[in-house]
């Protein structure tokens, strides 16, 4: 594929959140095909702790172009909006630079960014593929981040109507998201391709080096992990209540790691309830995240009511890659719920009492955990590897 491809996304290398690592891995694999790949993104911000990065960089065959934008607190509604529009404007100012590209891949971070791909398409005739991680403004309305009658919602609906109509291809993360687009947003079915997110199995290391995690592994018979965003789409209350119900069980520990709007609330609740068998960390990356996966017996996942079709929990793929069964509070109509049940790789729980029942059952059944672990890894190998899913992206880009 000897053509140029433009990728537009807010987060990219060296950021290590999933909304950065997934576009990076796709871009790497696309560059390996001989494609000239250019990425316009922001400078790393919230979870990047290393030194300064350059404005432009050639990384693994990818031409990275970074733009400056505001760094207000993302946990604040106003701060997040200002950052969104600041990044949008920084990319918009470079619009003439994009007219030489005939193929564009744009991500829904921030949700107004795809409108720039729409403008390029109208002005230069380029074709663009829209990767939809979250459905806006419905996502924002559900978590009460915006009022459904607000000017912002009207603006986003105006933009989305044109984006959906003009996109050559739309990637939905699951069939439930595809159905939402078809039946709620009137998007033509033939434009949509379902491609799930994935995990690079090479990131899972067998050896555990973190001494703190090794101590936890030796202390408890059952280690439970919640990892990822603790945002408004996640029902963290149900997991805190589950931990409260099991606070006196010295055989079980809970590990929470990640970030998001509810992170401090979760931390405060764990301290307030004196849940001494609960441990909380900010986002773990690299070997630390691999280590916490390795010491885990069972992973936990949750999504609030009403969120079906608006987003997909991406951490599930890392759990499966590390051979971890999942207890999930998620609608049974979602792809991941159906896969967990059909492969016998996980359990669906509706409330804290059901979480407790399943946790106690697994505590007394190492054989069941082992069987579910093997099933989890088989599910990962069949559907959620990097190679399988970046190949789907690359094939779609070829057809743009």
Averaged pLDDT, 92-101: 96
Q: DSSP 3-state assignment of 251?
A: coil
H-helix or E-strand containing 21?
Answer: helix 18-31
Look at the block and give the residue holding tokens 């069949």: 382
The distance from CA 324 to its chain's CA centroid, rounded to whole angstroms, is 18
Averaged pLDDT, 200-205: 87
Question: pLDDT class for 126, splitting at 50, 70, 90?
Answer: very high
Predicted confidence (pLDDT) at residue 2 exceeds the cutoff of 70? no
pLDDT of residue 47: 65
83 touches 72 (CB < 8 A): yes
Q: DSSP 3-state assignment of 203?
A: helix
Question: pLDDT class for 168, splitting at 50, 70, 90?
Answer: very high
Predicted confidence (pLDDT) at residue 229 exceeds the cutoff of 80? yes
303 touches 370 (CB < 8 A): no
Q: What is the dihedral of CA 164, 169, 172, 174, to 10 degrees?
A: 130
pLDDT of residue 206: 83
Q: How far apart are CA 239 and CA 262, in angstroms?
A: 12
Q: How far apart are CA 261 and CA 233, in angstroms?
A: 10
pLDDT of residue 46: 66
Alpha-carbon torsion (274, 286, 38, 29), positive or negative: negative
Q: How far apart are CA 137 and CA 213, in angstroms?
A: 40
Q: What is the pLDDT of residues 314-362, one digit of tens each?
A: 889 999 999 999 999 999 999 999 999 999 999 999 999 999 999 999 9
Averaged pLDDT, 12-32: 93
pLDDT of residue 311: 84
- Least confident range of 188-192, 196-200, 302-306: 302-306
Minimal CA–CA distance to 322: which of 289, 347, 294?
A: 294
pLDDT of residue 226: 97
Averaged pLDDT, 266-271: 94
pLDDT of residue 231: 86
Predicted confidence (pLDDT) at residue 52 exceeds the cutoff of 90? no
pLDDT of residue 272: 94
Q: How far apart are CA 329 and CA 127, in angstroms?
A: 38
Q: Would you tell me the crossing angle of helices 77-92 and 114-124 to the nearest 10 degrees?
A: 20
Question: pLDDT class for 16, splitting at 50, 70, 90?
Answer: confident
Question: pLDDT class for 205, splitting at 50, 70, 90?
Answer: confident
Q: How far apart are CA 277 and CA 244, in angstroms?
A: 10
Minimal CA–CA distance to 29: which of 399, 395, 318?
A: 395
pLDDT of residue 113: 96
pLDDT of residue 382: 97
Q: Which residues contact 76 (CB under 8 A, 6 or more apart)?
A: none
**Percent of the chain predicted with pLDDT > 70:** 98
Cα distances (angstroms) measured from residue 263 to each of 30, 117, 182, 273? 35, 34, 34, 16
Predicted confidence (pLDDT) at residue 223 exceeds the cutoff of 80? yes
pLDDT of residue 381: 97
Q: What is the pLDDT of residues 274-323, one digit of tens each?
A: 999 999 999 888 889 999 999 999 999 999 888 888 888 888 999 999 99
Write down the mean pLDDT value for the chain.
Answer: 93
Q: Where would I find the beta strands (DSSP E) of 242-372? A: 252-259, 278-282, 298-302, 326-329, 346-348
Minimal CA–CA distance to 326: which of 312, 311, 315?
A: 315
**Going from the N-terminus, what domains does the chain have, and what CATH number goes with each?**
4-198+385-398 (3.40.50.2000), 201-383 (3.40.50.2000)
Burial degree of 86 (CB within 10 A; 0-12, 13-18, 19+): middle
């Amino acid at each position: 594929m000897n053509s140029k491809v433009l990728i537009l996304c807010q987060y990219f290398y060296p950021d290590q959140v999933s909304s950065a690592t997934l576009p990076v891995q796709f871009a790497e694999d696309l560059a390996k095909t001989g494609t000239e790949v250019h990425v316009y993104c922001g400078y790393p911000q919230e979870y990047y702790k290393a030194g300064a990065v350059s404005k432009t960089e050639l990384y693994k065959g990818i031409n990275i172009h970074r733009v400056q934008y505001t760094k207000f607190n993302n946990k604040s509604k106003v701060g997040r909006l200002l950052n969104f529009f600041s990044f949008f404007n920084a990319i918009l100012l470079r619009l003439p630079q994009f007219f030489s590209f005939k193929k564009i891949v744009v991500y829904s971070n921030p949700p107004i960014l795809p409108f720039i791909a729409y403008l390029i398409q109208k002005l230069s005739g380029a074709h663009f593929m829209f990767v939809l991680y979250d459905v806006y403004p419905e996502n924002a309305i559900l978590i009460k981040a915006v009022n459904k009658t607000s000017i912002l919602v009207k603006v986003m609906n105006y933009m989305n109507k044109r984006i959906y109509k003009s996109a050559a291809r739309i990637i939905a993360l699951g069939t439930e998201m595809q159905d939402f687009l078809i039946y709620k947003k009137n998007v033509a079915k033939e434009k949509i391709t379902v491609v799930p997110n994935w995990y690079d199995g090479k990131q899972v290391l067998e050896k555990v080096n973190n001494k703190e995690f090794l101590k936890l592994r030796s202390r408890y018979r059952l280690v439970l992990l919640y990892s990822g965003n603790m945002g408004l789409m996640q029902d963290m209350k149900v997991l805190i209540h589950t931990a409260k119900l099991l606070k006196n069980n010295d055989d079980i520990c809970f590990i929470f790691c990640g970030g998001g709007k509810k992170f401090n609330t979760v931390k405060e609740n764990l301290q307030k309830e004196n849940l001494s068998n609960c441990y909380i960390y900010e986002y773990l990356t690299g070997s630390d995240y691999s280590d916490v996966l390795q010491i885990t017996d069972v992973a936990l996942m949750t999504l609030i009511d009403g969120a079906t079709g608006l987003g997909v929990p991406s951490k599930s793929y890392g759990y499966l890659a590390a051979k971890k069964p999942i207890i999930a509070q998620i609608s049974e109509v979602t792809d991941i719920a159906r896969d967990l049940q059909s492969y016998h790789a996980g359990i669906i729980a509706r409330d804290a009492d059901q979480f407790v029942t399943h946790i106690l059952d697994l505590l007394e059944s190492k054989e069941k955990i082992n069987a579910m672990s093997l099933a989890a890894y088989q599910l990962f190998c069949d559907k959620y590897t990097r190679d399988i899913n970046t190949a789907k992206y690359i094939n779609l880009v070829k057809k743009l």
